[in-house]
Structure 1
Amino acid sequence: MIQYASLFEPVRIGRLEIKNRFAMAPMGPLGLSDTEGAFNQKGIDYYTARAKGGTGLLITGVTFVDNEIEKHAMPHVPCATHNPVHFIRTAKEMTERIHAYDAKIFLQMSGGFGRVTVPTNMGEYPPVAPSAIPHRWMDKICRPLKIDEIRHIVNMFGQGAFNARRAGFDGVQIHAVHEGYLIDQFAISFFNHRTDEYGGSLENRLRFARQIVKKIKQTCGEDFPVTLRYSPKSFIKDYKSGALPGETFEEKGRDIEEGIEAAKLLVAYGYDCLDVDVGSYDSWWWSHPPMYQKKGLFMPYARLMKEAVDVPIICAGRMDNPATAVEAVEKGVCDIVGLGRPLLADPDYVNKVMGNDIQSIRPCISCHEGCMGRVQTYSALNCAVNPQTCRERTAAYNPILRPKKVMIAGGGVAGCEAARVLATRGHSPVLFEKSDRLGGNLIPGGVPDFKEDDIALVNWYANQLETLEVDVRLNTRVDAAHILSGSYDAVIIATGSYPRILSLGDDDHVHTAEEVLLGKKNPGSRVLVAGGGLIGCELALWLAQQGKQVTIVEQMEKLLAVNGPLCHANSDMLEALISYNGIKVHTGTRIQSFRGGNAVCTTPDNEVIIHCDSVVLAVGYAPDRSLYEEIRFQMPNTYVLGDARRVANIMYAIWDAFEVANGI
């Protein structure tokens, strides 16, 4: 008996039947294209793995239809019109493999990024837009598109869709009247100041989108599905300024009233399905929701679209809980559940839901480190918790010649990942953890309610190691003598890190972030958090949400200066939440002492006295390498991983552990 049976009923988009109610949401395929604009082998393997994992409909990340008007450095993302013969040949291999699993695939095609082009992905080419408006990231004014350029892009959509159909794609998705990309910039009056046929009334502002679907239907036939990525609300307060959940503000972008009206027009123009989210690049934390956004945040907007138009609705946005997905489908919120980052984390998500094996689904932690952080910094799509994402072939599990007994000291994420990979490959890991629980620094880090998925990841590792029958020994501290006498073939030291401590005077009221998060210390009602990195900022937010008066003191000139690559959706929302929750911030400031409820801090110009009940230290961690240093020259095949090697983030702890464990 399938527990979530309604998610596995077929659904139609136009005349196309999809075997279940799951769609892979589009995520930018950076690193998955070759220099001729085709999907490379990485891209083919990546999408095929999600089809093999049971997903009914795959929607590729954004691809371009034109590289003349808005030029892009190659290779960037695929382009169906750059070298059509090569694109069709390579894409046909991909679609044939996907169809073997009875899955369908749509090519997402973009008219361009306009004012939101990420500078690292744009090269030296000037940004374009509907009007002379500010660029989102750079201090530049965009060049307005000419009418003949708009018509050229529309024609290229027709050619691109024709090539997609020849290559075996089952439909296309237009990117988009969504998130403030180029076609959306035309649709929103805040960005569109034109006085010609593409500006003014809503119908004129939607003319670009209307002409695109008309051209594709003319070229590919009325039966070829054309879907639209669509945002019925923008959450724009101003250029480069977005609204927070619950914030009262004047909408400068598309409001709900116009969002409903526009949806009706777009469906009347011929779009066969709306893939719904909200937000814009000016309010990026809506379009790419970090852990500070609630689960299922797009559901209210998807319901509005479901009630307004008579085409299927796709709803994504932190929909990784199968119970939430069932509720959305059964209560008429949407017809199809979109999964983006959850399918980066676990390509077999859908098959596991179908098999009632929910506890084995590797959770997405909404960190954006492996996906958007790497996309914006390195032009590469990956996943923090799944090192094999977009590297399915090159990071496949290596076969072993002889099983080895491998000792692992430390049960944080690095130690757990190493044990999981070793056991999966057929080795015999033995994991020792000095505490009574696996997880390491994720345990205190996962205390705030917005970090619940960190604990879900810990629980997933515990379940995996139990399923793989890994020998896990909790409450056991190992020393060099044990390691050297244990007849191990290899040793992994993953002993983690410890918080850096400052002595400030009244040390009875100076605590570490870990002590406060775990409830070992009560910081009082007025708290000074020393350190404005990720840990300090999240701790401050958690304390402020409990009604405490919180001040952050950071010696660098800005918050979150040393963390990265953080996606702007995460860092910008966290900084906005700090201000919104009344947290005071002193940057360029160093704490010197704390006595009698007074923290003495200094800046380059003066001294600042901050009254508080306690100081909570979030000034970083130091690697715990003592055990490694003691045995490194006595035990061959010894490796050091995680924070014990280099204090970093979850992604590098997991990736490094995978790399080493897959090579033993």
Structure 2
Amino acid sequence: MHLFPHLFKPLDLGYTQLKNRVIMGSMHTGLEEHPQASVRLAKFYAERAKNNIGLIITGGIAPNHPGSLTKDGATLISKKQIFHHQKITNAVHQAGGKIALQILHAGRYSYHPDLVAPSALQASINPFLPKPLGHTAILQTIEDYANCAELALLAGYDGIEIMGSEGYLINQFITQYTNHRDDLWGGSYQNRIRFPIEVIKTVRQRVGDNFIIIYRLSMLDLIEKGSIWCEIEHLAQAIEIAGASMISTGIGWHESRIPTIAMMVPRAGFTWVTKKLMGKISIPLICTNRINSPEVAEQILSDGCADLVSMARPFLADSEFMTKAAENRADEINTCIACNQACLDQIFVGKQASCLVNPRACHELDFPFRPVLKPKNIAVIGAGPAGLSFAITAAERGHHITLFEQECQIGGQLNLAKQIPGKIEFQETIRYFQRQLILKNVTVHLTKKASAEQLVNFDEIIIATGVLPKKIHIEGIEHASVVNYYDVLKHHISIGSQVAIIGAGGIGFDIAQHLCQEIDNSSQDIDAFTHQWNIDTTISQPGGINLKGEQHLSSPRKIYLLQ
């Protein structure tokens, strides 16, 4: 018996069926531009396809060069490229999965000098100024979308997703914030939504009826002069008429200052947005953002908030997420903690994505799993993240592991990190490690320092005792009022009302937040979160933000960050 009956209910689209209600959402991994892109992506997606995901959506692929994310960003514009994509689709199909190609034109978010947009308005997050598209160029761009979709069909994809949210090109046409045109493609709302409607119509005509078309609709822009709810609902209905098979929820533009996928966002924190559209359209509706457990996903579906759920980063954290859920082993899932440290942070600096809690993600070819031929008896000193990760991996390969930890609990500095407001998800990583230690038969000694006598008979000894706060040499450092972050978080020492923090990196910011907001009242409270960030839940104000909202948080201390 499934613990998650709604999650594993098939979805019949008439011409095809999805095995369950879970979509692996699109995320750029950096593999798209790798010299071995097709081979590495095939391995990456196949490993997840064999683990019962209903539909996988690729990272964004541009329909033309101006729309690529970077100068050498991935495109699908020629039949010559089909062979490379067939490696991906064949691998996924052989693994029993289905896969759709996301078509993404970045518009003014393209990070190269040849970028284009509805109007010549520079994005706050991009140093390049876009060239405004002329009427003929707009028609050609629509044709480029259709050509890309047809090539995806020929390459064996089961469908496509048209990226119409997050502030990319289509979204830029829709809002007055970025569309200052006064022709057929701008001005009135009906003119501003002409572009996405024509894209869907033209694509549907090109690919025929038996091909999935998902439209990712920006339902909450979270920017000034964004769309209001009646406009969003109208566009959703127009997109359905134009030929979309499903609509997926898009939340926030990349340049919005309101967090949408960070750890501080409550789980399923934007489900209320998707629910507002349920019943207003007749095609399936997909819910997204901060869904990271089968329990949360099941609740969304059972409450009637959506027809499907989309998760992206959780499948970086654990490729076996769906298999474990299907086998009622949800407690074994390596939970995505929404830290963004090895996925988004890497992509934004032009590096390949991975995952903080699963470094093997996107490196499947580099780190294949191989059982050992001659198991060893190995001692691991320290049960922080490094020691735990080594112990579990080595035990899984067949070694016999004994773990020594001088504290009374495992986790090391994860136990400090989880105390920061909005970062309680670090507890999930500790929970995962705790469960894996039991499953992998690792012998654990807590509150115990390993002695030479105890270690002498081990074949190998791994030192993983963690890091200590850096010692700095400045005048006055020995004063009684000078403490380090370890003292604050572990020993909970009393801190005064005026504080100078030396070091404005990640730990410095975390400590500042901890001292400003010692009691975290909003980390999993959706109402508190929307109130704190002045989000208009009626979406009657442009972009769904209350520009006249008040600053709701006050600090008990005055903090100075020194760098």
Distance in 2, Cα, partners of 1:507 & 1:208: 65
Distance in 2, Cα, partners of 1:88 & 1:284: 39
Structure 2 residue 378 is matched with structure 1 residue 401: no
Distance in 2, Cα, partners of 1:433 & 1:173: 48
Matched residue type, 2:516: A
Structure 2 residue 460 is matched with structure 1 residue 490: yes
Distance in 2, Cα, partners of 1:546 & 1:69: 44
Distance in 2, Cα, partners of 1:541 & 1:52: 42
Structure 1 residues 269, 14: CA separation in 2 closer, same or farther (over 3 Å shift)? farther
Specify which of 344, 369, 376 is matched with residue 348 of structure 2.
Answer: 376
Query: Which stretch of the first structure deviates more once superposed, 537-546 or 435-444?
Result: 537-546
Structure 1 residues 368-397: Cα deviation after superposition (integer angstroms, max 9, x where no partner): 111111111134222121121111122112
Quote the residue 1:115 is aligned against.
Answer: 108
Structure 1 residues 591-612: Cα deviation after superposition (integer angstroms, max 9, x where no partner): xxxxxxxxxxxxxxxxxxxxxx
Specify which of 73, 77, 80 is matched with residue 76 of structure 2.
Answer: 80
Quote the residue 1:46 is aligned against.
Answer: 44
Deviation at 1:404, TM superposition (A): 1.6
Structure 2 residue 512 is matched with structure 1 residue 514: no
Structure 2 residue 89 is matched with structure 1 residue 92: no
Q: How does 1:430-469 map to 2 (within 5 A)?
A: 430-469=402-441
Deviation at 1:504, TM superposition (A): 4.7
Structure 2 residue 127 is matched with structure 1 residue 127: no
Q: Secondary structure in 2 aligned to 1:45? A: helix
Deviation at 1:130, TM superposition (A): 0.7
Quote the residue 2:251 is aligned against.
Answer: 278
CA contact (8 A) 2:143 2:202 kept: yes
CA contact (8 A) 2:62 2:69 kept: no
Distance in 2, Cα, partners of 1:34 & 1:9: 36
Structure 1 residues 466-512: Cα deviation after superposition (integer angstroms, max 9, x where no partner): 11001221111125x347x6133322211112224678589555443
Q: Secondary structure in 2 aligned to 1:492? A: strand
Query: Which stretch of the first structure deviates more once superposed, 528-537 or 14-23?
Result: 528-537
Distance in 2, Cα, partners of 1:57 & 1:581: 44
Distance in 2, Cα, partners of 1:388 & 1:448: 27
Structure 1 residues 518-555: Cα deviation after superposition (integer angstroms, max 9, x where no partner): 4632335665544432223223323323479xxxxxxx
Structure 2 residue 6 is matched with structure 1 residue 3: no
Deviation at 1:114, TM superposition (A): 1.8
Query: Which stretch of the first structure deviates more once superposed, 335-344 or 219-228?
Result: 219-228
Q: Secondary structure in 1 aligned to 2:279? A: helix
Matched residue type, 1:369: Q
Distance in 1, Cα, partners of 2:502 & 2:107: 41
Q: Secondary structure in 2 aligned to 1:407? A: strand
Q: How does 1:91-170 map to 2 (within 5 A)?
A: 91-110=85-104, 112-117=105-110, 119=111, 122=112, 125-170=113-158
Structure 1 residues 10, 432: CA separation in 2 closer, same or farther (over 3 Å shift)? same
Q: Secondary structure in 2 aligned to 1:227? A: strand
Specify which of 257, 262, 275 is matched with residue 303 of structure 1.
Answer: 275
Distance in 1, Cα, partners of 2:259 & 2:244: 24
Structure 2 residue 23 is matched with structure 1 residue 23: yes
Distance in 2, Cα, partners of 1:24 & 1:448: 29
Matched residue type, 2:195: F
Structure 1 residues 404, 189: CA separation in 2 closer, same or farther (over 3 Å shift)? same
CA contact (8 A) 2:43 2:91 kept: no
Deviation at 1:418, TM superposition (A): 0.7
Specify which of 235, 238, 241 is matched with residue 222 of structure 2.
Answer: 235
Quote the residue 2:290 is aligned against.
Answer: 318
State TM-score, norm by structure 1: 0.75
Quote the residue 2:446 is aligned against.
Answer: 474
| Percent identity of equivalent pairs | 29
Alignment gaps of 5+ in structure 1: 237-250, 549-576, 590-664
Size of the alignment, in residue pairs? 531
Deviation at 1:170, TM superposition (A): 1.1
Distance in 1, Cα, partners of 2:450 & 2:154: 61
Distance in 2, Cα, partners of 1:189 & 1:336: 31
Structure 1 residues 353, 441: CA separation in 2 closer, same or farther (over 3 Å shift)? same
Deviation at 1:234, TM superposition (A): 1.0
Structure 1 residues 448, 506: CA separation in 2 closer, same or farther (over 3 Å shift)? same
Structure 1 residues 70, 372: CA separation in 2 closer, same or farther (over 3 Å shift)? closer
Specify which of 486, 489, 495 is matched with residue 523 of structure 1.
Answer: 495
Distance in 2, Cα, partners of 1:290 & 1:324: 17
Q: How does 1:337-356 map to 2 (within 5 A)?
A: 337-356=309-328
Structure 1 residues 231, 284: CA separation in 2 closer, same or farther (over 3 Å shift)? farther
CA contact (8 A) 1:343 1:349 kept: yes
Alignment gaps of 5+ in structure 2: 521-549
CA contact (8 A) 2:343 2:353 kept: yes
Distance in 1, Cα, partners of 2:424 & 2:21: 26
Structure 1 residues 395, 33: CA separation in 2 closer, same or farther (over 3 Å shift)? same
Structure 2 residue 236 is matched with structure 1 residue 263: yes
Distance in 2, Cα, partners of 1:500 & 1:547: 27
Quote the residue 1:565 is aligned against.
Answer: none
Distance in 2, Cα, partners of 1:58 & 1:286: 25
Structure 1 residues 393, 67: CA separation in 2 closer, same or farther (over 3 Å shift)? same
Distance in 2, Cα, partners of 1:46 & 1:346: 12
State TM-score, norm by structure 2: 0.88
Deviation at 1:449, TM superposition (A): 5.0
Deviation at 1:585, TM superposition (A): 5.1
Structure 1 residues 72-130: Cα deviation after superposition (integer angstroms, max 9, x where no partner): 433x33x2224x23x322322322332234422111112x212222x4xx3xx333211
CA contact (8 A) 1:134 1:140 kept: yes
Structure 1 residues 13, 192: CA separation in 2 closer, same or farther (over 3 Å shift)? farther
Structure 1 residues 613-632: Cα deviation after superposition (integer angstroms, max 9, x where no partner): xxxxxxxxxxxxxxxxxxxx
Matched residue type, 1:407: A
Distance in 2, Cα, partners of 1:296 & 1:12: 25
Distance in 1, Cα, partners of 2:183 & 2:109: 23
Structure 1 residues 336-389: Cα deviation after superposition (integer angstroms, max 9, x where no partner): 111111111001101111111111100112111111111111342221211211
CA contact (8 A) 1:277 1:302 kept: no
Matched residue type, 1:259: I
Deviation at 1:133, TM superposition (A): 0.5
Specify which of 387, 391, 394 is matched with residue 363 of structure 2.
Answer: 391
Distance in 2, Cα, partners of 1:54 & 1:455: 27
CA contact (8 A) 2:264 2:421 kept: no
Distance in 2, Cα, partners of 1:18 & 1:584: 54
Structure 2 residue 29 is matched with structure 1 residue 57: no
CA contact (8 A) 2:497 2:558 kept: no
Structure 1 residues 264, 10: CA separation in 2 closer, same or farther (over 3 Å shift)? same
Q: Secondary structure in 2 aligned to 1:488? A: coil
Structure 1 residues 547, 216: CA separation in 2 closer, same or farther (over 3 Å shift)? closer
Q: Secondary structure in 1 aligned to 2:32? A: coil
RMSD: 2.6
Specify which of 407, 426, 447 is matched with residue 398 of structure 2.
Answer: 426
CA contact (8 A) 1:162 1:219 kept: yes
